[in-house]
Structure formats: structure tokens, C-alpha cells
Amino acid sequence: MPHNHEAKFIGVAPLNLASAEHISFLINDKYFDECLKTQAGALVCSKKTAELLYGQTKSILLVSQNPHAAVAKISQFFFKPKHPFSGISHQAMIDETAEIHPTATIFPFVFVGPGAKVGAQTVVYSGCFIGATSSVGADCLLYPNVVIREGCTVGDRCIFNPGSVIGGDGFGFAATEKENVKIPQIGGVQIANDVEIGANTTIDRGAMADTKVGSQTKIDNLVMIAHNVVIGEFCFIAAQTGIAGSANIGDRVIMGGQVGVAGHLKIGNKSILTAQSGISKNIPEGQMWGGSPARPFKEHALSLVALNKLAKSNKKSS
Amino acid sequence: MPHNHEAKFIGVAPLNLASAEHISFLINDKYFDECLKTQAGALVCSKKTAELLYGQTKSILLVSQNPHAAVAKISQFFFKPKHPFSGISHQAMIDETAEIHPTATIFPFVFVGPGAKVGAQTVVYSGCFIGATSSVGADCLLYPNVVIREGCTVGDRCIFNPGSVIGGDGFGFAATEKENVKIPQIGGVQIANDVEIGANTTIDRGAMADTKVGSQTKIDNLVMIAHNVVIGEFCFIAAQTGIAGSANIGDRVIMGGQVGVAGHLKIGNKSILTAQSGISKNIPEGQMWGGSPARPFKEHALSLVALNKLAKSNKKSS
Amino acid sequence: MPHNHEAKFIGVAPLNLASAEHISFLINDKYFDECLKTQAGALVCSKKTAELLYGQTKSILLVSQNPHAAVAKISQFFFKPKHPFSGISHQAMIDETAEIHPTATIFPFVFVGPGAKVGAQTVVYSGCFIGATSSVGADCLLYPNVVIREGCTVGDRCIFNPGSVIGGDGFGFAATEKENVKIPQIGGVQIANDVEIGANTTIDRGAMADTKVGSQTKIDNLVMIAHNVVIGEFCFIAAQTGIAGSANIGDRVIMGGQVGVAGHLKIGNKSILTAQSGISKNIPEGQMWGGSPARPFKEHALSLVALNKLAKSNKKSS
């Protein structure tokens, strides 16, 4: 039953705000009723939703196995970030030995050190710093005031939100009675392709080896990644989480907000650490843990129930 | 019994440091005895305190129904921030389509994008960034290295402490096996009048609609406000608190430090969330909650007592 | 039994990576077996380790009472930070009344206010801000985008990692029905010698008196130090910890990551606050506390055991 529309769209909008020129979407079933009322010219949804809607809507139905990803891609099509400067500013300070790709954009008030490299189409906003010998790949976005210190490498298509700091000194000292002797932090940071780093997040350089973040990993704002941490691919790390030194995080790990991971631990692939949990042990692959100190989530939940029950019975008997 | 003083004051000082040329204050009753000894030329206090002090002090008594606020206002009278630069620097990079009020101050090394607006008497310190079409009202202070990305609006008399970031990308991705697809964050941030934002705090732009902060709300350092959060008026949010996406915070809400609020929750007006609490449910108006996961504060306190008791009895029987 | 080697070394490396031109070390006994296999030309270790190794290794043994500190010092010998700019940039904005030592380095895009001082050999990276009358001592390092607002003093040999903010306004307001009146924050910040501050950490200025950090204290990333806090000497404060207003921290205190300390508390010398603990009481000298709210660590540990046991017995009986 082929459609024969010729439709023109100007963007993506939520069900309640969409006009005939918008594409809208159903990702969360609780908004199903809004699909029946939306003015959207088209609607991205699952096959199941499309069957339920068929004949009850004027919207063109765009069926996807992953409507969430489909909407994201459509939204990317309509929305290209525009940058308020182009070219390589003569008000930037670029060392003569740095290699800036001619298609890159360097805003005013940027400092690029000796031997540093900036790849094709990469955009470096004002106030950024790229240290000596550090390299940033192609198609990256460094928003204002990002700092990438010396000896770090960044892949392609990475996004650094404002104020993020890559390669600050790790927290390493040898305590004596008379002084706390600084241990020089001589490693760097390696960031793979397609990584996003949140605003004011900090990723410290390694003490001797490099701190590493794997491809497709997405890190939210105000996160702390300590020296020598190794993070795998496809992880999500929510805001204000902290990962202590030398911890090893697997692939496709999900951390909620304000999680703390102690040093030198191993967090298995596909594990889930719930918000505010305090991880003090290695976490096996595929498990969900919570609480502080964290335990398997079911045990943690049982403790909370038991404690609640105890408090109630104490209250009665008192 | 009117006083007939002609007194000259040079500023506000605490009871133990004040001279005859200082105005001091009693806000916390535990310092009452210091009132009897202070050298302060004048003393701001409640009517009740004044009655207790009358005849026992040389200080002029300045009676107020709200001595705390009175001292704040008097202190403001004596202390006007001085700024180490004035005018509009030719070492700033200001797009020719930006509108800078002639009474505004723009320090060197500031970037102001196309169509941006800066209001009367507003001061923008070095290293700040104001993105395309963003507007900042009158009498605002942007301390060094503040970033306000494109499409944000800021009211009058707002203060942004150094390094705060407004309008960074929200943390939105659609996960697939092969990639985590970025969901373009096309909303902005709206900040009302008389808001203060702490150092290195981050407020993300909305995914589609705007993130909002209401008037008179004060936010401390290193706080994370995620995309689409709406915060009411007259709130206090202490340091290192994180509010996840789409949460709705009422008016006159108080949050202690290091609080976490999960996404999509509704926090009622005048509620109080104690330090380090983890909010996982909607909070009714006017209640105090604590703990992680948080419960009504009394229940939380009972649990702590019950647990303590249990631990002691276990210890004895072992 | 004197050695008669003439050896040349190029740096320090871990046991498994070291070549004959590297100095390696044994700090953690669990790596003892690696000592037997290492190719390192020399090995820093304790007397006890040296006795065990004697005759079983080709490495020169460098015996130290504190091998950790010895390695740190040796590493400092090999590794001198190199800075990608030297001299005083004409692209910096330095007030004519500021005093910059002729041996100091000021990068481009730095702002130095009236009456500010920068000491000998101190290096100030791009994007930094030093406010009016603030002084920074000798041999300090201010990495990019550090902000030190007006009226602050910094000792010698301090290191400020990127994005750290010293002297932002403290969080002080007097609440009324109609407005939250700002209490001017007219104190400063005093930072003693040999202090290190982590990336994006914030230390607020005092309300009336100064906020203070003692000598040899080391503070990690994303830490919040509120107004009027006084921190002693030789402390270690790990990442994302927050210390509320007017708290008084003794000497040689150790705080794990994500600790919260409530306002106006006194934390005794040599106390240890474990990660994620929430300190709501004064802490006596020399004790270890944990949990939220925190208790003496042993009591805290007993509670966790008791709770676990209770949850298990509940589960069986249900």
C-alpha cells in the first residue's frame, strides 16, 4: 500500500508541538494517545505502533526497528551545528611547528603548542588550549575553553563540551614527614573515535602509561577520570561520577550519576552501576550493582526493605 | 528615647573584629555575649536582642525584623565590586551583528557571536564566550571564563561565577549495536532575573525545549543541571548537587550539597532535600526528605537509629 | 661491598617496561616476582627487599627507607616540565601597576589586574586570570584557564591544574519573601606554599575573613572548598569532595573521593574520612570515619554486616 506523498519538512518536533512540516516520533508508549492528536506531517515509530495507528492518523508513518536512533539521525539531518567563526584566526597563537589542517577552524584566543596537530574540519572554539605534540583528529568539535594538555591523542568525530580538561596532572604524591613529594605524571591520555566529553569533566594524564577512553564512549558533565584509568568502548558515564586511579572499565558499561569507583578495580563488560553507588569490589560481567558500598542490586534492594521493616517495628514497640 | 549621634562608618565587621567605625550584627544568638564586649560603633539586631542589650552597650542599636537581610544590604552599600577593566576592549572579538550596550564592559579575550546581546552596565570578564543570538540582560556580572553557548537567554542582575557553563550539549544518545547516535540538542537555556550561578557549574541546553532557571534562584559551585530541567523561583541549590534530565523543581526548594535528583521527577514547592540525599521519587510540597534512596526525613532518621541499635545488639551477642 | 658501576639512565619505568637504561622500583610487595625478571638497570627498593634480591638480579639496587619518595624524586630529576612558550607575551593584558618578575612566563591571552604580583620563574598559561592585588609566589605553575580572583595570595611552588577557580564568590544570601539578598563576599583566599589544586576545583573567597589552605596540602580535581573553610597542612583531599562553609580541617587529614563535610565542623588532625562519607559531626584527632552520616569506621562496618545479615534472614523467612 504505497504512499504517494510529496512532503516538505523543516525539522523534528515532539508530538504536541509538531506541525504538518515537522517529523515527530513515538519512543515511549505512554505518549501513544498523543499520536492520535498530533499535527505532525510524519511520525517515526515501531512496526507495532504503526499497525495500531494505521488509518487513524494523517501523519505519514515512518517505521523503524529502532525509532530512537532513527529520530536521532533525522534530527541530525535537519540540524547542523553552525559555528560563529571560520578559518584560522590570526588572533590565535599557533606554534609554527603545529600542523593545522587547512579545513580546520581555529577561533581567536586559542593556543596551539609545538608539534600539535588538528585534523580536517575540526573546529576549535575560543579559549581552547592544545598542548605540545597533542593531536586531535578530523571532524572534532572543541567548544570554548577546552584544555588538552601535552602528549594526548584524540580520534575523529569527538565532541568536547566547554571547560573539559584532558591531561591534567594525576593525583600522585609520596608522603614523607617533611613534604609530599610530587610524582611526575609523565603519561598522556588517549581518546578514541566518536567519544563525547561533558562540560567541565576532567580526565587526568597517566602517571607512567596513558589514561584511555574507548570509541563510542559518552561521558557526561563534571565527571572525574583519574590517572591510568582504562575505559572500554560504548560506555555511558553519567554526570558527577568519579573513577579512581588505575580502574579498568569494560565495554558497554553504564554508570548512573554520582557513582564512585575505587582505584585498581575491574568493572566487567555490560555491567550497570546505579546512581550514587560506591563500587569497592570488582564487578562481574553483565551485572547490575547498587548502594554504597555497592552490592548486587537485588541484595541491595532487599537490605533497603529489611531496614525499612525494622525501623517500623522499632517505632511500634517504642 | 532618640539617639542623637553623628557617626561615620567604613564597613561591616564581625563582633570580635569591629571598631567604632564598623557596623556589626547579631544573627546567631550564641554570640550574644560578644555583643556586650564588641567595640562596634553600631549593631544590627532584632527587637528582642535590642531590649536585652539596652543600656549595656555603647553601640548604636539598629533594629530590624530581618537582621540577616539588613546586614546584607548594609554590606552591599559599603562594598561595590570594582572591575579591573572598563569599556569595550579592542582585544575582544565581537561579531559586527552583536549588540553591546554602550555602558557594558567587555574585557579582552572575550568572544561574542553574531546576533548576541549584552545589556546595560553588564560586565563580561576575560575568557568569556557568548554564543550566537544569546542575550544577557542588564547589570549582570560574568566572571572570567564563563561560557554561554548559542540560543540562551539571561535576565537582569545575574551573576555567573568563573568557569560556569550555560548551554553545553545535553547528554542524549540513541544506543545501537554499531554506534551511539547523538541526538542533537536543539533547545536552549533560559535564566530569569537575579539568578546566581556558582563556579564551574554546568547547565545543559534542552534537547528540544529549553532548560529553565527561575528568578531569585541561587546555585552553588560544581552543580549539574541536565537538559530540560525546569527550576522554579527562589530556590537554593548547594554545591555538587546533580539534577537529571527533565526533572521539574518547584519554587523555594532547598537542596543541600551533593544531592542527586533522578530524571523526570517533580519536586514540590518549599521542599527540603538534605545533603547527599538521592531522590528517586516525586517529593510532595513542603516536605523534608533525606537518605539514599531518600525518604521522609523522620523515617530516614528512624532507620538510622534502628540500624545502629541492631549493630550494637549483634556485637554483644557475638 | 661497594659497587663500581658506571651506568647511564634515561628515566624511570615500571618493572615490566624498564630497559637497562631505566631505573625501576618496588613499592608494592605483590610485584616482587617481577623484580626477578625485570631488565631495569637499577631498582629502588627497601632494605628488606634488597636483602631478598641480593645475588638474584643484575639490577643495581638503590636502597631507600622510603622507596616511594625516592622514586618520586628520581623521576623529578629526569622529568622537567617543558612549557610551550617563554617570556612575557605582548598578547597578554597586564595592568601597568602589576608586578611581573622578569623571570616569570606569561602566555598570550592572560589577564593580570592592577597591583597583582607574579613571582620568579612562575609560569602562567593561556586563558588564566589574576585579579587585582592578588599575588602568586615563585616557581608556581598555573595551567591554562586558571582563575584567581582579586585579593587572593598564593605561596611558592604551587601547582594549579587547568580550570581551577580560586576566589569565586561564597554562597551567602539572606532570604526574604521578596528577594534573596546577596551577602557581599569580601574576604579572600590564602594558599600557602607547595599546595597543588586539581583541575576544575573551586575554592571560594571568604565572606569576611579569608578561606585558607595550608602548606603541602594536595587537593584533587572537582573539589569544592566553600567560604571561610580553613584547611591545615599536609592534607590529601581526593576528587569531588565538598567541604561546606566555615569548616575547620586539621593537619595531615586524608579524605577519600566524594566526601561531604557539613559546615562549621572541626575535623581533627590525622583523621581519615573514607570515600563517599558524609560528615555531620566533629571528628576527633586520628580517627577513621565512614558512611553517610559518618560514624567511627568500625561501627560503620558493623552496621553493614548487621544489615546484610538481617536482609538474608528476612529473605529466608519470606
The string of pLDDT tens digits covering residues A160-208 is: 999 999 999 999 999 999 999 999 999 999 999 999 999 999 999 999 9
**Residue A84 and residue B244: Cβ atoms within 8 Å?**
no
CB contacts < 8 A, A to B, total: 186
Q: What is residue B5's predicted lDDT score, i.e. its pLDDT?
A: 59
Chain A residue with Cα closest to C79: A184
Q: Which residues of B touch C93 (CB under 8 A)?
A: 85, 89, 91, 107-109, 126
- CA-to-CA dists, residue B294 to A36, B251, B273, B283, B297, angstroms: 38, 20, 8, 10, 8
Which residues on A lie below 8 Å from B169 (Cβ)? 159, 161, 196
Q: Do A179 and C240 touch (CB under 8 A)?
A: no
Output the pLDDT for position C4: 55
pLDDT of B140 over the 90 cut? yes
Q: What is the mean pLDDT of residues A50-68?
A: 93
Confidence of residue C230 (pLDDT cuts 50, 70, 90): very high
In this structure, which topology does domain A11-78 adopt according to CATH? 3.40.1390
- pLDDT given at position A318: 59
Q: Give yes or no for residue B164 having a pLDDT over 70.
A: yes
Which residues of A fall within a CB distance of 8 Å from B208? Answer: 12-14, 17
The whole-number pLDDT of residue B4 equals: 56
Chain A residue closest to C161 (CA)? A168
Which residues of chain C have a CB within 8 Å of the CB of A114?
Answer: 84
| CB nearest to A181's CB, from C72, C163, C304 | C72
Asked if pLDDT for residue C175 goes beyond 60, the answer is: yes
Out of B240-249, C74-83, C96-105, C151-160, least confident range = C74-83
Q: How far is C187 from chain A (nearest CA, A)?
A: 26
B269 or B7, which is more confident:
B269
- pLDDT, averaged across chain C: 95
For residue A89, the chain C residues in CB contact (below 8 A) are: none
Asked if pLDDT for residue C30 goes beyond 50, the answer is yes
pLDDT at B316 over 90: no
Q: What is the per-residue pLDDT for A170?
A: 98
CB atoms within 10 A of CB A29: 11
B240/C244 CB distance under 8 A: no
Mean pLDDT for chain A? 95
Q: What is the pLDDT of residue B88?
A: 98
Q: What is the pLDDT of residues C293-311, one digit of tens each?
A: 999 999 999 999 999 899 8
The predicted pLDDT at position C314 comes to 81
Distance from CA of A65 to the nearest CA of C (A): 40
Q: What is the pLDDT of residue C1?
A: 43
Confidence of residue B284 (pLDDT cuts 50, 70, 90): very high
Q: Which of A120-124, B308-312, C66-70 has the lowest mean pLDDT?
A: B308-312
Q: Using one digit for the tens of pLDDT, what is the confidence trace for C40-57? A: 999 999 999 999 998 899
Query: What pLDDT does residue B1 have?
Result: 44
State the pLDDT at residue C313. Answer: 86
Task: Choose which CATH entry (2.60.40.10, 2.160.10.10, 3.40.50.2000, 3.40.50.300) describes domain A175-194+207-318.
Answer: 2.160.10.10
**β-strand B272-273 against B254-255: which pairing, if any?**
parallel
Q: Do domains A11-78 and A88-163 have the same CATH topology?
A: no
Chains that touch B (3 or more CB pairs under 8 A): A, C
DSSP string, B58-112: SSEEEE-SSHHHHHHHHHHHH-----S--SB-TTSEE-TT-EE-TT-EE-TT-EE
Q: Predicted confidence band at B30 (pLDDT cuts at 50, 70, 90)?
A: confident
The distance of C57 to chain B (nearest Cα, Å) reads 49
Q: Average pLDDT over chain B, rounded to whole?
A: 95
Residue of chain B whose alpha carbon sits nearest to that of C304: B311
Q: A153 pairs with which residues across the strands?
A: A135, A190
Q: What is the pLDDT of residues A76-88, one digit of tens each?
A: 999 988 999 999 9
Q: Judge whether residue B2 has pLDDT over 60.
A: no
Residue A1, pLDDT above cutoff 50: no
CATH class for domain C93-297?
mainly beta
For residue A51, pLDDT beyond 90: yes
Please tell me whether residue C312 adopts helix, strand or coil conformation: helix
Q: What is the pLDDT of residue A7?
A: 77
Which of A313-317, B311-315, C174-178 is predicted with the least confidence, judged by mean pLDDT?
A: A313-317
Please give, rounded to a whole number of angstroms, the shortest distance from the CA of C201 to a CA of chain B. Answer: 8
The fold of A88-163 is: UDP N-Acetylglucosamine Acyltransferase; domain 1 (2.160.10)
Which of C150, C165, C171 minimises the CB distance to B200? C165
What's the mean pLDDT in C145-150?
Answer: 98
Question: Where in chain B are the domains?
Answer: 11-78, 93-297
Query: Which residues have a Cβ under 8 Å from the Cβ of C153 and sit 6 or more positions away?
Result: C134, C135, C188, C189, C190, C191
Amino acid A28: pLDDT = 85
Does residue B55 or residue B227 have the better pLDDT? B227
What is the ipTM for the molecules in this complex? 0.95
B313's CB contacts (< 8 A; 6+ apart) are: none
Using the predicted structure, report yes or no on whether residue A112 has a pLDDT greater than 50.
yes
Q: What's the mean pLDDT in A37-66? A: 94
C305 with B314: CB under 8 angstroms? yes
The pTM assigned to this predicted structure is 0.96
Give me the percent of chain A exceeding a pLDDT of 90: 90
**DSSP conformation letters of A259-311:** -EE-TT-EE-TT-EE-TT-EE-S-B-TT-EEETTTTEEHHHHHHHHHHHHHHH
Query: What confidence score (pLDDT) does residue B3 get?
Result: 54
Q: Do C72 and A109 touch (CB under 8 A)?
A: no
Q: Which residues of B24-39 are buried (b: 16+ CB within 10 A; e: fewer)?
A: bbbeeeeeeeebeebb
| Residues of B acting as catalytic residues | 227
